[in-house]
Amino acid sequence: MSSIQTQFPNLTARHAVYAAVDPKGALAGSAAGKVVFISGASRGIGQATAVAFAQAGARAVYLAARTEAALEETRTLVLAANPATHCALRACDVTVAAEVEAAVADCLARFGAIDVADANAGYLGPWTRIGQSDPDGWWWTWEVNLRGAYHVLRHTLAPLTESARRHDAMGKSGGHLILLSSIGGQLVLPGASDYQTAKHAVNRLCEFVQVDHGADGIKCFALHPGGVATELGLNMPEAMHGYLVDEPTLAAGFCIWLASGQADWATGRYLSATWDVPELLAIKDAILTDDLLVNRLRAVL
C-alpha cells in the first residue's frame, strides 16, 4: 500500500458543499456576531470563504489581498449574500509584516474584534527540479506560503485571544485561526520542492501555534482545501489538472465548520476539506488517542 494511502484516513471524499458544511443549512447562524479576517480574499477559495461567512451570519468580514479592485468584487458578493454583514477591505501584501499589521489594525478600528482569522493567501510557481530552480523564485514560494501565514497569525493572535476569552465567558467558542495548507505538504513529488516543503512547514507551524497559545484559547487548524481549479491550482503540471475536481465552496463551508466550535477537539492538526465531516467525527477518539493528523516521524524498532 502506498504512503498516500496509509497516511490519510479512509473517509468518503466530498467535492462540493453538503449538509454538514452548508453555511445556509446546518451551519446557518453559526458565525452570528463574529468578525472574520481573510487574507487572499480577492478570488478563488478566499473569495468563496468570505461569501460563506456572510451566508453563515457573520457580523463583519474584512478582506485583504494585494489588489484592491479585485477585493471590491468580493465585497459585492459578500453584500449580496447577506446585506446585514458589514464588509471592509484593504490592499495588503502578506509578505510585508507592516502591511498585515496595518490591515489588522484597520479591521479592529472598524469592527472592534477579530473572532476568526483565515490565512488564505498562497503561491505556486513552476514545478522545476531543484538543480534547475531559480533561487529567488524558490524562496518566494516560502515567503508567500509560510511567511505570509506567519504574519497573519502573528498580528491576529492578540485579538483572537481576546475573542476566545469573550466567547468562553458566554459559553461559546471563539479565537479560530485557519492556515491554508495543502495535501502537497504531505507528499514528495518531483519538481515541487519549494511548494511542498513550505506547506509541510505550515502544518508544523499550526502545531506550534497550538503548543504556544492553545492555553490562551486559540484554536488553530492547517487546512487542505481540496483540488480546486484556481489560478494557483492550474499552475500545477497539466497532467495533474484532472485532480482539480473540488468546488471552492467546499473549502469555504469546511472553514465555517471549523469556526463553529464543532472541530475544537482537532486543534493543531492537518485536516482536509474533502473529508466527510460525520465520518471524521466518528473517528475522533482514535485520532486523539493515537495523536493522528500531525507531523511525526514513525520508526519501527
Catalytic residue among 62, 123, 150, 199: 199
What single-letter amino acid sits at 27?
A: L
What single-letter amino acid sits at 285?
A: D
CA distance 174 to 105: 19
pTM for this one?
Answer: 0.95
Question: What was the pLDDT predicted at 239?
Answer: 65
Phi, psi of 6 (to 5 degrees): -90, -20
Out of 35-44, 130-139, 240-249, pick the least confident: 240-249
Q: How many CB atoms are closer than 10 A to CB 7?
A: 13
What secondary structure does DSSP assign to 83-121, as a single string? TTSEEEEEE--TT-HHHHHHHHHHHHHHHS--SEEEE--
Question: What was the pLDDT predicted at 1?
Answer: 30
**Averaged pLDDT, 216-223:** 98
Question: What was the pLDDT predicted at 234?
Answer: 67
Assess whether 195 carries a catalytic annotation: yes
Catalytic residue among 195, 219, 243, 284: 195
Element (H, E) at 280: helix 277-282
What does DSSP say about strands 219-224 and 269-272: parallel, antiparallel, or unpaired?
A: parallel
Per-residue CA distances from 227 to 117, 245, 249 (Å): 22, 6, 12
Q: Does 195 have pLDDT greater than 80? A: yes
**Averaged pLDDT, 77-82:** 98
Question: What was the pLDDT predicted at 117?
Answer: 98
**Averaged pLDDT, 117-139:** 94
Please count the CA atoms within 13 angstroms of the CA of 140 that sit on its side-chain side. 10
Residue the block writes with cell 494511502: 5
Q: How many CB atoms are closer than 10 A to CB 14?
A: 22
Q: Does 3 have pLDDT greater than 60? A: no
Q: Does 266 have pLDDT greater than 80? A: yes
Could you give all domains of the chain from N- to C-terminal order, each with its CATH number?
9-289 (3.40.50.720)
Three-state DSSP state, 272: strand
Chain-centre distance of CA 109, in angstroms?
24
- Reported confidence tier of residue 217, pLDDT bands at 50, 70, 90: very high
Residue pair 92/103 in contact by the 8 Å Cβ criterion? yes
**Averaged pLDDT, 108-130:** 95
CA distance 220 to 225: 15
**Averaged pLDDT, 280-299:** 93
- Reported confidence tier of residue 138, pLDDT bands at 50, 70, 90: very high
CA distance 252 to 255: 5
Assess whether 199 carries a catalytic annotation: yes
Kindly report, residue by residue over 35-75, the tens digit of the pLDDT.
Answer: 999 999 999 999 999 999 999 999 999 999 999 999 999 99
Percent of the chain with pLDDT over 90: 88
Residue pair 131/190 in contact by the 8 Å Cβ criterion? no
